[in-house]
Amino acid sequence: MRIVSQVESTTSSNVMIITASLIHLNAVCELEQQFGAEAFSKRSLRHFILQNKLKVFVDNFGNVIGSAILLRRKNSNTTRLYSFIIDNKYRDKGIGQVYLEVLLQDVQTKYIKLEVSENNTAAIKIYTKQGFAIVDHKPNYYKDNSTAIVMKKTVDLS
Ligand SMILES: CC(C)(COP(=O)(O)OP(=O)(O)OC[C@H]1O[C@@H](n2cnc3c(N)ncnc32)[C@H](O)[C@@H]1OP(=O)(O)O)[C@@H](O)C(=O)NCCC(=O)NCCS
């Protein structure tokens, strides 16, 4: 699916992150299926889009190759990275690392936090490389009973 709209963040010619609109809903739903039992429903994704919480990653050809959900409560000093996914056709090529770095450049809170399964080696690796540190563990957090690792990063707002 080829979808392009306003570019919000770029660091190089092939990194584009845009706030999703409803035209992205089907593409994001397809991506989310890759989370299996943990995937958000179409209804939830629609909600995140309408609240401007969902970002999509677009390549040079307008293909949606990943997405992220960023949540922030009013008056909170912490943004929560609630979902981060790269289409499995594009994984393990350094793309996740690049999009994560660009995504984090727009965070305007002092802290950013996330939960990740202790078994998700690739995700833990890219979060650690971006400066996230483990601050907590939540046993039996996921539907497969795996433990969530809570990771936190202090954002340089200067
Ligand atoms: C996590 C995810 C976003 C990473 O995206 P990606 O584009 O594959 O990431 P990169 O290629 O930039 O980096 C992945 C790193 O993990 C390593 N890696 C990948 N699979 C691995 C595995 N099974 N064991 C150990 N390391 C692994 C890669 O070698 C790479 O490390 P390197 O840069 O030192 O070589 C992607 O795998 C994904 O979308 N997974 C499904 C959704 C998900 O789990 N999201 C996180 C939820 S918290």
Domain count for the chain: 1
Residues 6+ apart with CB under 8 A from 109: 72, 76, 77, 78, 79, 155
- Residue range 6-35: mean pLDDT, rounded: 80
- Residue range 28-48: mean pLDDT, rounded: 93
This prediction has a pTM of: 0.91
Please provide the DSSP assignment of 106-118 as one string. Answer: T--SSEEEEEEET
The answer to the question of residue 78 being in a domain is yes
- Residue range 29-37: mean pLDDT, rounded: 91
- Residue range 96-120: mean pLDDT, rounded: 95
CATH number at residue 135: 3.40.630.30
Is 76 strand, coil or helix? Answer: coil
The answer to the question of residue 2 being in a domain is no
Instruction: Write out the residue range of the structural domain in which residue 45 sits.
Output: 16-154
The answer to the question of residue 10 being in a domain is no
Beta sheet of 133-138, edge-to-edge order: 16-19, 54-58, 64-72, 78-86, 111-117, 148-154, 133-138
Q: Band the pLDDT of 14: cuts 50, 70, 90.
A: low
Query: Any idea how long the chain is?
Result: 158
Residues lining ligand 1, Cβ inside 6 A: 34, 84-86, 91-97, 114, 116, 120-123, 125-126
- In this structure, the residue with its CA closest to atom 26 of ligand 1 is 122
The answer to the question of residue 106 being in a domain is yes
Structure-token match 């960023």, residue found: 70
With the most atoms of ligand 1 within 8 angstroms of its CB, the residue from 71, 84, 115 to mutate is 84
The answer to the question of residue 9 being in a domain is no
The answer to the question of residue 7 being in a domain is no
Residue 128 has pLDDT above 60, yes or no: yes
